[in-house]
Amino acid sequence: MPKLPVFSGPELIKLALERGFVVERQKGSHVVLSKGSLLTVIPVHGQKALKKGLTLRILKDLGISREDLFKR
CATH assignment of the domain containing 25: 3.30.920.30
**Domain span including residue 32:** 9-66
Phi–psi pair at 50, nearest 5 degrees: -85, 150
State residue 3's pLDDT score.
Answer: 84
Classify residue 71: in a domain, yes or no: no
State residue 1's pLDDT score.
Answer: 64
CA distances from 27 to 2, 23, 32, 63 (A): 34, 12, 8, 24
Classify residue 4: in a domain, yes or no: no
* Number of domains into which the chain is organized: 1
**Count of C-beta atoms within a 10 Å radius of residue 66:** 12
Classify residue 2: in a domain, yes or no: no
**What distance in Å separates the CA atoms of residue 27 and residue 25, rounded to the nearest whole number?**
7
pLDDT tens sequence across 13-58: 999 999 999 999 999 999 999 999 999 999 999 889 999 999 999 9
Q: What is the pTM of this model?
A: 0.87
**What distance in Å separates the CA atoms of residue 72 and residue 19, rounded to the nearest whole number?**
12
